[in-house]
C-alpha cells in the first residue's frame, strides 16, 4: 500500500490522505476469486468511491450498474451496498483496474498506465482458469493488449466485440459503465447486459 512507482500518484495520494484521512488512499487491490474464469478490468479508482472504500467500483457511480449487472447474471451474490463490508461475493469473476491508484481528474497519464501494468500482468498470470477478460473502455483495452504482449493494432476497440486470441482467451470489450457514458447514452443498460450475455455464453460453453 506504499507503492511509490508513480511519484505523481503517490503525491496525490498523500494530498488525499491529508484531506480525507478516513479514506483508503492506497492502491486498490483486486476483488474476487483468483480461480475465476472472468477478469473485469476497469480504469482506475474514483476519488470518493474505490479510493474511499478500498474495493474496486465500490461507492463509485459506475459500480451501481456494474454490480447490478453482475448480480443479474449470477456473477455476484448478496446485496451491493456501496461499502466493502456489504457481504457481496463475486462468483466466477474478479475485478481489477488498469491503474490501482486514484489519478487526478480520473485521467491516468500514459506513463502511469505503463508503470501499473506489471500489476495487471500479475493478475492475468495469477488466474489459472481465465477464459474471458472483459475490458471497460479504451484505456483498459489498450493496457490489456500491452500486458498480453500484443500490438495495439491487433484488436481495435469495438464495443461488444468478443475477440478470440491465439491463446484461446476471449477479449470482451465494452464501453466503460461510467456516469458520463450512461448519461450520454453511449452505453445503455441493455447494451451492457448484451455484453454480459455474450460473456456468460462463453463461460458456460
- Residues engaged in binding ligand URA (CB under 6 A): 42-46, 49-50, 56-57, 60, 62, 97, 136
**Which of 50/170 has CB closer to ligand URA?**
50
Least distance from ligand URA to the Cβ atom of residue 131, Å: 22
Provide the minimum distance between the beta carbon of 75 and ligand URA in the complex, in angstroms, as a whole number.
16
Residue 126 has which C-alpha cell? 495469477
Measure the CA–CA gap between 100 and 51, rounded to whole angstroms: 9
* 52 vs 115 by CB, closer to ligand URA: 52
User: CA–CA distance from 152 to each of 13, 142, 147 (Å)?
Assistant: 30, 6, 11
- In angstroms, give the least distance from the CB of 31 to ligand URA: 9
- Name the residue with the smallest CB distance to ligand URA: 42
DSSP assignments along 67-80, one per residue: HHHHHHTTSEES--
Nearer residue to ligand URA within complex by CB, 27 or 37: 27
**What are the φ and ψ backbone dihedral angles of 25, each rounded to 5 degrees?**
45, 50
Other CB atoms closer than 10 Å to residue 172's CB: what's the count? 21
The smaller minimum CB distance to ligand URA, of residues 62 and 144, is found at 62
Q: What gap in Å lies between CA 91 and CA 31, rounded to an integer? A: 11
- The CB-of-20 to ligand URA minimum distance in angstroms stands at 16
Amino acid at each position: 500500500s506504499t507503492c511509490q512507482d508513480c511519484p505523481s500518484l503517490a503525491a496525490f495520494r498523500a494530498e488525499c490522505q491529508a484531506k480525507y484521512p478516513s479514506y483508503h488512499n492506497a492502491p486498490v487491490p483486486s476483488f474476487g476469486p483468483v480461480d475465476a474464469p472472468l477478469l473485469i478490468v476497469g480504469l482506475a479508482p474514483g476519488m470518493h468511491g474505490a479510493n474511499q472504500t478500498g474495493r474496486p467500483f465500490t461507492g463509485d457511480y459506475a459500480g451501481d450498474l456494474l454490480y447490478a449487472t453482475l448480480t443479474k447474471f449470477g456473477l455476484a451474490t448478496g446485496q451491493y451496498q456501496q461499502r466493502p463490508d456489504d457481504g457481496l461475493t463475486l462468483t466466477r469473476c474478479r475485478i481489477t483496474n488498469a491503474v490501482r491508484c486514484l489519478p487526478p481528474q480520473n485521467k491516468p497519464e500514459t506513463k502511469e498506465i505503463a508503470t501499473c501494468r506489471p500489476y495487471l500482468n500479475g493478475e492475468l498470470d495469477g488466474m489459472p482458469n481465465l477464459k474471458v477478460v472483459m475490458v471497460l473502455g479504451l484505456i483498459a483495452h489498450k493496457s490489456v493488449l500491452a500486458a498480453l504482449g500484443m500490438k495495439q493494432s491487433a484488436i481495435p476497440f469495438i464495443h461488444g466485440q468478443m475477440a478470440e486470441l491465439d491463446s484461446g482467451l476471449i477479449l470482451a470489450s465494452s464501453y466503460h459503465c461510467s456516469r458520463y457514458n450512461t448519461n450520454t447514452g453511449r452505453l445503455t443498460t441493455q447494451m451492457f447486459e448484451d455484453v454480459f450475455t455474450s460473456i456468460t455464453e462463453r463461460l458456460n460453453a
